[in-house]
Amino acid sequence: MSKRHTPALLALLAALPLLLQPLAQQAFATDPAPAAASSGDVKASGRPAFTGAEGLVVQEAPPMPKDVSDDQRRQRNYPEQPPVIPHAIAGYQLDLRANKCLTCHAREFTGDSQAPMISVTHFQDRDGQVLGAVSTRRYFCLQCHVPQTDAQPRVVNTFRDVDSVIRDSRPPAGEGK
């Protein structure tokens, strides 16, 4: 190719998107843009307003289960299981500035609140050194402790705690040794 054709060819290549734009618009043309739909139009169409896709079914979310707030301690299912929270905690502040849980469960408040004191393990650092205050590793209670709800399990729970497994594996009393 000669040098005299190069500028013309470069100009043509630069203009190519502009030249092809009408063809692309025609090839990918859809129906003219509809007028803004009112909420009545969306309901009448049966399509979700957020996608406009056909065939999708929008389902109502089930109601949130209620918190169990009977303040009864629950049996633990395995050694070292953190205790579950037997009361509602909605609205509790639990961040770097405040820990609402400690207003009842801290050592100095358990006499008035009658709440169980947090475990002594919460006063140890990762090297086992005993601290005068709650370790920063244990400050955010909801990392391990969870509130309970009255939700029904979606699948059958066949979990058996270790005590029941041991008890059921022993022969009944009075049978051979």
pTM of the model: 0.55
Any long-range contacts for 140-147 (C-beta under 8 Å, 24+ apart)? 140/94, 140/99, 141/85, 141/94, 141/99, 141/101, 142/94, 144/82, 145/82, 145/83, 145/84, 145/85, 146/84, 146/85, 147/67, 147/68, 147/84, 147/85, 147/87, 147/88, 147/89
Q: What is the pLDDT of residue 109?
A: 95
Q: What angle do CA 82, 84, 89 make, to 5 degrees?
A: 130
Element (H, E) at 43: helix 39-45
What confidence tier does 121 reach under pLDDT thresholds 50, 70, 90? Answer: very high
pLDDT tens, residue by residue, 41-80: 556 666 655 655 566 777 888 888 888 888 888 888 888 8
Q: What is the pLDDT of residue 40?
A: 55
Report all structural domains of the chain as residue ranges with CATH numbers, in order of start: 67-148 (1.10.1130.10)
